[in-house]
Structure 1
Amino acid sequence: MLVKHSKFVCLYYMVIVMSWCTPAVSFSVINSLPGFNAPLPFKLETGYIGVDDVEFFYYFTESERNPAEDPLLLWITGGPGCSSLSGFFFEIGPLRFNMVEYNGSLPTFFLNQYAWTKVSSIIFLDAPVGTGFSYSRMPQGFKTGDMKHAISCYNFLRKWLESHPKFLTNPLYIAGDSYSGMIIPIITQAISDDIEDQGMLTLNLKGYLLGNPYTDRNFDFNSKIPYCNRMAFISDELYESAKKNCKGEYSKVEGRNQRCANDLQAISENYYCYLLKVWASDISVQEALHTRKGTIKEWVRCNRSMDYDNAVQSTLSYHLHLNKRGYRALIYSGDHDLAVPYIGTESWIKSLNLSIVDDWRPWFDDGQVGGYSRKYGNDFTFATVKGAGHTTPEYNPKECFAMFSRWISQQPL
């Protein structure tokens, strides 16, 4: 699969290389935002960058520490189709909503003291097309999928850096969470391939990081049933019956016997794991962000109706390839996530057969256990975050900031 996708990437470069010569870029510096009653104490820029027929919208925040030298992150929220405002306001950005009972007025914010922008500059990208304020100028431009999504993000990044050349030498990391686990490794490898070929503008790529990432259908989905048993969502008896009748294969529909189907139905009946839309849909907000009027019919946090091809079934080969090339990686998992259970992530990492440098141990924040970690060869780190759910920094912002700031500074967790 790696070779097949690499050939696809090379062919895609040949088709789109001419578009890089005529960049369509527009951006504005935002000094104030509705809902925050003071000038912004950080630098915020929004803008559009055209890639083929698509106009990608982004939010860029400079590091509050030393933007000239601090790392630069490209952040893509999962979904696919969830706006990067989710990451900006609920996870790692400089502002957070005041979570009060909604009374019909515009939501308000407070400063996030655990924002990752305190130690890094971050581009929050609305991608793929149809996400957030990103749109296509042509109807056919809205059709996308895993590979097109990944390569479009890479082309966006190149154009963004061409228009912001002072960040070309900053250490570069590609980051995201959830479904972005199917996209980030492809983007990272595309950059890596380009660097190896030395054919175009060289980016200072250092690595990538992923939170609770979808990675491989078999590992991710098959881990949900044992995870439910570990968390006492289902009884030992039901778990043992499902394990026996399904033979440990819970993700496959074809060939599933009736006893297995009955057990999985019983399991599904035993567990279940609004402010952002109001704010982003407000006309004064869209004017403040300098979005283009009439380009989207309705702003939604996660677009579930896009024409999207989920073509990539596994990104394991990308992780292995990038590790062999020496790129750093941080894979972190909230250990209370049922969407992508940490035991599945731990299992696929073990399947890579990387050498263990620092074995399983707790990591701490202010004297308390923040989670557990294991470090593998070529600076590949897996870390859990104790008590956190799927979008990990949303649940444990303090611990996640400690984890990120140490890792991005190349310090032990």
Structure 2
Amino acid sequence: MTIEILVPDLPESVVDATIATWHKNPGDTVSREDVLVDIETDKVIIEVPAPEDGVLEVILEEEGATVLSKQLLARIKKGTVAGEPTQDVPASSESSPNKRHTASLTSEQNDTLSPVARRLLAGNNLRPTQVKGTGVGGRITREDIGAVIKQADVNATKPQEKKETLSFGYRSEKRVPMTRLRKRIAERLLAAKNSTALLTTFNEVNMKPIMDIRKQYKDIFKERHSIRLGFMSFYVKAVVEALKRYPEVNASIDGDEIVYHNFFDVSVAVLTPRGLVTPVLRDCDRLSLADIEKSIKELAIKGRDGKLTVDDLTGGNFTITNGGVFGSLMSTPIINPPQAAILGMHKIQERPMVINAQINILPMMYLALSYDHRLIDGRESVGFLVAIKTLVEDPMRLLLDI
């Protein structure tokens, strides 16, 4: 019995996807729930598992191919004993990319190919459809394969454009295609810049009160909640309180209408091997500091391992990004449409500050709020940022709700 492996239903608004990585080769024994292939969309990587035990019989779409929802990817021969050759793959073949081409032969083509022809095709990375047979009944002969190989060698000697690497002595260039996520990020950033009235306002915050709290309670906090107390949870709490005071910042534009959200879903920028993504912390007004820290850690691990789902990345009314972890002292973040604003955190750096006519050395951080001026006026943007500054510099306000 043969089982067809299909592209899963793609997320809403995703038209197509790209084959990222095949984890199995034709002829490999697979078990139920083994990951066969990773499919990359412009949002997430989707893992396609094996539905039953068996042997991967044939791969129909190679890495890099563009596929659609429900498109046929491969076939599994159900119940084949481990080590038993499949109908399309010789038992003596090794597990290698060449096997994908030999495995793609249909049973009818296998019947018309001699063992010598099969070995030559596999050894030279050729498919039967690439060779015109001149033997009896259109069979492919050794000479037919030799002619194709010879022609390929002739073509290889012709001057061709080098797409991947250009070398000029000790200077070289390498060209690689952009990932779907990187292309999507580029499109969204450009769209945000061109379709919004983007403006940024700045302020600075004294981090000493929060740093003192962390120093005093970090061990107790970790022992009680099994998670490290960081700065981000304080900022998420401060952002939620500021959003309650300035609902325009928690709103979005939909055509000619303004949509005011009565919930507080905050996107947090996370760096992954595929690029920067913004998974969402939902209902942040109901989360404790420990809940926020645990959720951020969970999302960061999922991002690192490529396990973020479409639901993790969908929604969000406001975004927080922390360039300070990379050493950024100042930046102007770009909003994530349809959101109306984004808060940029930066590096903590000791600077001389005048407090009560006295010069003090304090750990200071610059904050940047980029916002869509079509929806948020200067009064709301500055007031929102000042509210965050006030709450962070005096964390007791968060506890007392003042």
TM range (shorter): under 0.3
TM-score (norm 1): 0.20
**Which protein is bigger by CA-based radius of gyration?**
2
The answer to which structure has the higher strand fraction is 2
* Highest RCO, 1 vs 2 (Cα 8 Å, sep ≥ 6): 1
TM-score (norm 2): 0.21
